[in-house]
Amino acid sequence: MSISALTVMVVEDHGFQRRMALRLLAEIGIGHAEEAADGRAALQLLEAASQPPDVILVDLDLPGMDGIELICHVAKRQLARAVILFSALDPVLLSTVQTMARAYGLRVLCSLEKPLTREKLLAALAHYGDVLQVAEGVETVEISGDDIRAALAAGEITPWFQLQVELGNGKPVAVEALARWCRPDGSVVRPLHFIGLLEREGLNDALTDLMLERSCRWKRQWDSEGMRLNVSVNVSPTTLADESVADRFQRIVLAQGVDPAEVVLELTESSLMADAALGLSVLARLRLKGFGLSIDDFGTGYSSLAQLSQIPFTELKIDQGFVTGAHSDPRKRAVVEASLDLARKLNLNVVAEGVETVEDWQMLADLGCGIAQGYLTAWPAPPEELAAVLARWRRPE
Are 86 and 145 found together in one domain?
Answer: no
Question: pLDDT tier at 270 (50, 70, 90 boundaries)?
Answer: low
Question: pLDDT tier at 261 (50, 70, 90 boundaries)?
Answer: very high
Q: Shortest CA distance to 42 belongs to which of 3, 81, 79, 88?
A: 79
Please tell me the pTM assigned to this model: 0.71
- Count CB neighbours of 327 within 10 A: 18
Q: Which domain holds residue 29?
A: 3-134
Question: Is-contact 303 275, C-beta < 8 A?
Answer: no
Burial class (CB in 10 A: 0-12, 13-18, 19+), 202: exposed
Q: Shortest CA distance to 59 belongs to which of 38, 45, 78, 79?
A: 38
From CA 158, how far away is CA 140, in angstroms rounded? 19
Q: What is the model's pLDDT at position 183?
A: 85
> Which phi and psi angles does 206 have, rounded to 5°?
-65, -40
Residue of higher predicted confidence among 296 and 265 = 265
Total domains, the chain: 2
CATH code of residue 301: 3.20.20.450
Are 150 and 275 found together in one domain?
Answer: yes
Residues recognised as catalytic: 353
Q: What is the model's pLDDT at position 130?
A: 52
- Count CB neighbours of 99 within 10 A: 12
Are 130 and 145 found together in one domain?
Answer: no
Helix (H, G, I), strand (E, B) or coil at 239: helix
Are 378 and 268 found together in one domain?
Answer: yes
- pLDDT surpassing 50 at residue 304: yes
Question: pLDDT tier at 95 (50, 70, 90 boundaries)?
Answer: confident
Are 182 and 36 found together in one domain?
Answer: no
- pLDDT surpassing 50 at residue 139: no
- Residue 319: inside a domain, yes or no? yes
From CA 54, how far away is CA 97, in angstroms rounded? 19
CATH code of residue 37: 3.40.50.2300
Are 359 and 241 found together in one domain?
Answer: yes
- Residue 397: inside a domain, yes or no? no
Q: pLDDT digits over 323-375, tens only?
A: 988 888 888 899 899 999 999 998 999 999 999 889 999 999 999 999 999 98
Q: What is the model's pLDDT at position 397?
A: 76
From CA 285, how far away is CA 244, in angstroms rounded? 10
Q: Which of 69, 100, 134 corresponds to the end of one domain?
A: 134
Are 93 and 176 found together in one domain?
Answer: no
Are 226 and 279 found together in one domain?
Answer: yes
Q: pLDDT digits over 142-194, tens only?
A: 678 888 899 898 989 999 999 999 999 999 999 999 999 888 887 788 787 78
Q: What is the mean pLDDT of the chain?
A: 86
> Which phi and psi angles does 295 have, rounded to 5°?
-90, 110
- Residue 360: inside a domain, yes or no? yes
